[in-house]
Chains A and B, each alone.
Chain A
Amino acid sequence: MTLQLALSQLLNGLQLGVLLFLLAAGLTLVFGIMSFVNLAHGSLYMLGAYFGAAAFAKTDSFLLAIIAAVVGAGLVGLLLDRFALTKLYARDHLDQVLATFGLILFFNELIRIIWGPASVFISAPKLLDGTIDIGGFTYPSYRLAIIAAGLAVALGLYLLIQKTRVGMLIRAGATHANMVAALGVNIKWLNTLVFALGAALAGLAGVMAGPIVSVQPGMGEPVLILTLVVIIIGGLGSIRGAFFAALLVGVVDTLGRAFMPTIMRSLLERSTADAAGPALASMLIYLFMAVVLAVKPQGLFPANVAAAR
C-alpha cells in the first residue's frame, strides 16, 4: 500500500516535472539567446489555459483546445516580442524584471475582465478519462498522458535544436549572437521565432494542466516562480539542465507535499503538523535551490551562454 502510494506520488511528481519543463524550456531559451528575463512567461501559461478552455467550451473537443492554446499563446508571444519587448532586450535585467512585472498585472486583469474572476472549466478528453492499471496499481490515464506528451515534446525539442538548421542557428545565437548576425542571419527573426516557440510551449503546458488545476486569473504566478527555480537550478540557457531540473523539482516538490505532513506528525502534535507540513514542504525546493546555488552558482548544467558570464 505504502509502496503504491509512493509510486503514484512519484508519477505525480514526474507529471508536474514535465509541465515545468515545457515552461522552463521556453524561458531558458529566451534567456540564453536574448539575455531576457521574462516574468510574464507565467501569463502565457495562463493565456494558454484560457484559450484552451474557451475552445473546449465552444467545440467540446480537447484536440481543438490544445491547438487553440498553442496557436493563441504563440501568437500573443509573437505580438509581445514584436511590439512590446524588443526595446528591452538590450536593457539590463532590472528594467526587464520591472516591465514584465507590469505585464503580469496587466494580463491578470485582462483575463478578469474577459472571463471574470471565477475559475473556468475544462475537462480531460473522454478517451483519457479513466484510470489505467500498471502491474497491480491504478493511475489516472490523463496524468500518464501528460507525462508521455511532455517527454515527446522534450524529444522533439532535442531533435529540433540538435539536428536541424534552425536549431543550429539557435545554438549559435546563444553563444555568439553578433557573429551569427554578421554571417547574414536575421537575428531579429530568430529572436521572434524563439520567443513565439517558448510562448507556444507555455500555452501547451497551460492547456494540459487545465483539467487538473483550477483555471483562474493569477494561476501563472506560482508556476512561474517554480519555473524560475527550475531554470536557475538547471543552469541558465541550458535546455538539458532545464529538463533534469524540472523533473527533480517536480518530484521533490510533490514528494515533499505528500510525505512531509506524515513525517512532521511523528515529531509534532497532529494539528500543528497538519498546518506546518504543507508550508514546510513548499519551502523544500527553495532550500534545494539555495543549496545548489551555494555549491554551484552557475547551476547544475551550466550552458555556454554569453549572457550568463
Chain B
Amino acid sequence: MNDTKPSMLWPVAIRWRAPRTVVAVTIIALLAVLPMIASALESSYYVSFSTRILIYALASIGLNFILGFGGMVSLGHAMYVLLGAYAVAIPSSHGVTSGFIHVALAVGVCVPLAAGLGAVALRTSGIAFIMITLAFAQMLYFGAVSLKDYGGDDGLTIPARSTLGGLDLATNTTLYYVAFVTVLVALYLSWRAVLSPFGLVLRASRSNPRRATALGHPIFRYQLAAYVASAVVCAIAGVLLANLTLFASPAYGAWTLSGELIVIVILGGLGTVFGPVVGAIILLALEETLPTLVEATLPDYKSNWMLLLGLFIFFVALLLKRGVFGSLPASARSERAEP
C-alpha cells in the first residue's frame, strides 16, 4: 500500500509500512474484535478487563498530551479521574442516571477547576510543578474523604450504569465499545492537536521555553489550554471507570494512581501519540499476570507480587528511555535506506 496523501482528515501523509503504524493499526484492529473473541471463548471477564485497559489508556492519553508533548510532569492527574467518577456517583445517588448529565457535570466542573489550578501550578516549573500538582491532588483526595454523605473514606456504590440515549451501557460489550470509540476519538484529536500550530507551540515550550517566548508565543496560555484539555480527558476516563466498577471512592485519586499513569506514559513511549495505549496494555497485563505467576512459582509469596512490579518500574525508568512503542521506527525500512 502506498502512503496516504494528506487530506482534510489526515493532515500529513501516513506511512502505512512504518513499524509504528503497523503495530498501532494491528492493536486497534485486535481491540475492535476483542469482545467477539471473548464471547467465542466464553470468557466475559476479559471484556471488563479490556475495558479497564482502555480507560487507563484514555487517562494516559490525556496525561501524555501535557507530559509527552508539553513537558509538564503532573503527579496529580488521578484527581481528575476522581472528579469524573464522582460526577457519576453523586447524581446517581440522587436518582439522576443520564450519562449526558454525568459527562456535562464532569466537564463543567473540570474545566474551571483545571483552569484555576493550572494557572497557579504553571507559575512554577520543574520539580516544584511536580509537587504542586501532587498537593492539589491530595487536596481533592481529602476533599472526597470529607464527603461523609457520599460514603467518605469508604466510597460510594453506584446503583446502575449511566443511561446514554439509546445505548444500553448495562451490557459489558456496549460499555467496552463506548470506551473503545472514546479512545479512538482521543487518539485522533491528540494526533491532530500535536501536528497543529497549537501543538507546535506546545512542543516548542517543552524543548526551549525561552526561545518560544522570544519568538513571540505566549506559551503560558498554550500550556494552560493543554493542561485543561488533558484534565478533561482524564475526567471522562473517570466517568467511564465509575461506570465499569459501579463504584467511586477517594482511592481513585490516590497519588499512586497518578504515578501509575506516568508509568504507563513512559512505558509506552513519551511523546508518541499511540504510546499510552501500548503502555496501558503492558502495565495492566503485568498487574494481572504477576500474581498468578508468583503463585505458581513461589506460593508462599503470592501476595508479594508488587515487589516485582516495583523492580520492573525501576528498571523501566533506568533503561527504557524511549518506551516500548517509542523504540519502534517511525518510518519504513525502505524509506530509511534512501539517503
Q: Using a CB–CB distance below 8 Å, which chain A residues touch chain B?
A: 31, 37, 84, 87-88, 93-99, 101-110, 112-113, 221, 225, 228-229, 232, 236, 271-272, 275-280, 282-283, 286-287, 289-290, 293-294, 297-299, 308
Taking CB atoms and an 8 Å cut-off, the chain B residues in 100-154 that contact chain A are: 120-121, 123-124, 126-128, 130-132, 134-136, 138-139, 142-143, 145-149, 152
Q: In the complex, what distance in Å separates the CA atom of A112 from the CA atom of B67?
A: 33
Name which residue of chain B comes closest to A103, CB basis.
B314
Query: Whole-angstrom distance between the alpha carbons of A308 and B152 in the complex?
Result: 38
Report B's interface with A, CB cutoff 8 A. Answer: 67, 73, 75, 120-121, 123-124, 126-128, 130-132, 134-136, 138-139, 142-143, 145-149, 152, 255, 259, 262-263, 266, 270, 301, 303-304, 306-307, 309-318
Q: What's the nearest-Cβ distance from chain B to residue A28, in Å?
A: 11
User: Are A229 and B135 in contact, CB atoms less than 8 angstroms apart?
Assistant: yes
Q: Report yes or no: B123 in contact with A293, Cβ–Cβ below 8 A.
A: yes
Task: Determine the residue in chain A with the shortest Cβ distance to B117.
Answer: A290
Could you say which residues of chain A place their CB within 8 Å of the CB of B135? 229, 232, 286, 289-290
Q: Is the CB of A294 within 8 A of B310?
A: no
Q: Bound state CA distance, A120 and B73, in angstroms?
A: 37
Which chain B residues border A88 with CB–CB below 8 Å?
317-318
Given A95-B317, A286-B142, list of 8 further CB < 8 A pairs?
A98-B317, A105-B310, A106-B314, A278-B146, A279-B146, A280-B142, A283-B142, A289-B131
Q: Are A225 and B138 in contact (CB under 8 A)?
A: yes
A80 to B127, CA, bound (A): 22
Taking each of A107, A289, A308, which has the highest tally of chain B beta carbons within 10 Å of its own beta carbon?
Answer: A289
Which among A93, A272, A283 is the interface contact of B130 at CB below 8 angstroms?
A: A93
Contacts of B121 in A (CB 8 A): 293
On chain A, the residues within 8 Å of B148 by CB distance are 271-272, 275-276
CB pair A37–B130 under 8 Å, yes or no, is: yes
**A residues in contact with B138, CB < 8 Å:** 225, 282-283, 286
Contact check, A232 vs B132: say whether CB atoms are below 8 A apart.
yes
Instruction: Knowing A102-B313, A103-B310, A290-B120 are in contact, say whether A97-B75 is a contact too (CB < 8 A).
Output: yes
CB distance from A236 to the nearest CB of B (A): 6
For B262, give its contact among A84, A98, A282 (CB under 8 Å): A98
